[in-house]
Structure formats: C-alpha cells, structure tokens
Amino acid sequence: MSRAKAYNLKQAYQMITSGKHQQVELAFDVDADTFFMLTTNYGLSGAKIDRHDNHFVLTLEQEASSASG
C-alpha cells in the first residue's frame, strides 16, 4: 500500500478528505494540539495514527477511503 506524504497540515487535510489515499504520512512537526485534533476528528471514524521513521502516519479505514473515491 502506497503512502502519501503531507508536508503541512493543510496538505494533510486535503489528502485525507480526497479519499484517494488510505495512508497519509505527516512529514512535518506535529504539535500536541494538532495531534489531538487529528485523533479526535479521525480516530472516532476508525482511523489509526502510528509513528514510523520519526513521522506520524494516519491510516484510514478502507471502507471510508474507498467510499469517497
């Protein structure tokens, strides 16, 4: 599964909401407020946030990402 890289929060939101990507790597410094906002907004819908190679990776549920694409 390929992973899209977002270099800022605006780009991350665009990639997440586009439905084209199941995984979005947050390739920028994520502060605590941003982290908790992402977990609140997307964690309730089944998304998972993991840490890989010094970046957070948001993985969306397959049904959610394919339904909007």
The pLDDT tens digits for 14-50 are: 999 998 999 999 999 999 999 999 999 888 888 999 9
Q: What is the model's pLDDT at position 19?
A: 86
Domain of 58: which CATH number? 3.30.110
Pairwise CA distance, residues 59 & 42, whole Å: 9
Number of domains in the chain: 1
Q: What is the model's pLDDT at position 68?
A: 47
Residue 49 sits in which domain range?
4-67
* Residue 10, SS3 per DSSP: helix
Q: What is the model's pLDDT at position 61?
A: 81
pLDDT tier at 64, thresholds 50, 70, 90: very low
**pTM (2 decimals)?**
0.79
